[in-house]
Amino acid sequence: MKPAVFVARPIPAAVEAFLREHCEVRKWDSYEPIGRDRYFAELAAVEGLITSGGLVNRELLSHAPKLKIVSNISVGYNNLDIEALRERGIVATHTPGALDETVADLVFSLILATARRVPEMDKLVRAGEWRKGDDRVLFGVDVHHKKLGIIGMGRIGEAIARRAKLGFRMDVAYHNRSRKPEVEAAYGAEYRTLPELLAESDFIVLMTPLTKDTERLIGREQFAAMKRSAIFINASRGQTVDEQAMIAALQDGTIRGAGLDVFEQEPVSPDNPLLQLPNVVVLPHLGSATTETRDAMAMLAARNLIDGLEGRTPPNVIPELRA
C-alpha cells in the first residue's frame, strides 16, 4: 500500500506524476491559503507533507499523528519548529542548491538597479520629465571595480562572489561563521570581521539564514559603520535587519541606497516608508522566482520526500536534524 502524502501548494504536473508513482497524493491546488480546519483534516492520515513556507509547529503536528517527513520547498526553514520535529522524530528537508544561481542573478539585478537608479529613471522617462540639460542629476555610480562585501558565504554567496569577481572585476570581501579557503583561492575573496567589512565595502549584500544569532544582525550601529556612499542589498530574510534603523539611514543619508527583496512584514504595507524613498529598489520576495528554478525546487522536494518515506536518508535533511 502506498503511503499517503499531502501537498499544501500547487506543483508542476511532472512533479505530481513522480509523486503518484510512489504515493497516494492529496493536494491543495490553489495559491489561496488553505483553511485551518481543512488543513488539519488532511494531515490526519498522511505520512508525508510538502509545504512551501507554511508554518509547521506543535499545533500542526498534533493533528498529524502519522507524519514521518516534512519536505520544505525552500532553502530557508524558519517556518519549521525544529525542536518540535526533533521531539517527534520527524525528518525535515529543504531545497538548497537548486536556487543558488537564480538568487545570485537577482542580487546582481538589485545591485545594478540601485547603483544606476534604474526604477527611478524609468519612472522619470515615463512621466515625461526627461529634459536636456545637466545630466548629472541623473547620474548613478559604477559597479565594476568596486568593493563588494558579502555577509554569509554559503552557496549563494559564492555564486554572487563569482559574478562580482569574474563579471565585474570587483574586489570581494566576506564575513562568515567560518572561513572559506576555497572561495578565497577562487575569487581572491578576503575574510573580514563584520565591522571591517561594513567600513570598507561599497556594496554590502546580506545573505545569512534567519536564526536567533542573525535576527536584526544589521541595525543602527551597523548602518552607521558603513560608508555614506554604500549601497545595502538584502535578499536573505527581512528579520535579519532592523527595518526602522534602515529607513532612518536611508532618509538621512547615512547610506546611499538599498535594494530589497525581503521585508520584516510580507507583503509590505502600502504605508511602509521604504516605498516612498527614491533611493530604494523593492521587489516582492522574488529570489528564486523563475519557472525553471521553482520547478527544480519542487522536484527536489518531492525526491527528498520519497527518500524519507522509503527508508533512505534524504540528501537535504535540515542541518539541525541530521544524525
| 8 A C-beta contact, residue 66 and residue 46 | yes
- Indicate if 179 belongs to the active site: no
Q: What is the DSSP letter of 286?
A: -
- Indicate if 9 belongs to the active site: no
Residue of 9, 94, 192, 237 marked active site: 237
Other Cβ atoms closer than 10 A to 286: 15
Residue 78 phi/psi, 5° resolution? -70, -5
Strand-by-strand arrangement of the 24-27 sheet: 24-27, 4-7, 48-51, 69-72, 91-93
| Residue 314 DSSP SS3 | coil
**Grid coordinates given for 5:** 502524502
- Indicate if 220 belongs to the active site: no
User: What distance in Å separates the CA atoms of residue 255 and residue 115, rounded to the nearest whole number?
Assistant: 12
Q: b/e string for 52-91 if b means 16 or more Cβ within 10 A?
A: bbbebeeebbeebeebbbbbbbbbbbebbbeebbeebebb
Q: b/e string for 267-278 if b means 16 or more Cβ within 10 A?
A: ebeeebebeeee
Residue of 59, 87, 182, 266 marked active site: 266
190 DSSP β-pair partners: 173
121 DSSP β-pair partners: none
197 DSSP β-pair partners: none
Nearest one of 85, 13, 89, 15 to 50, comparing CA atoms? 15
**Hey, which residues are catalytic here?**
237, 266, 285
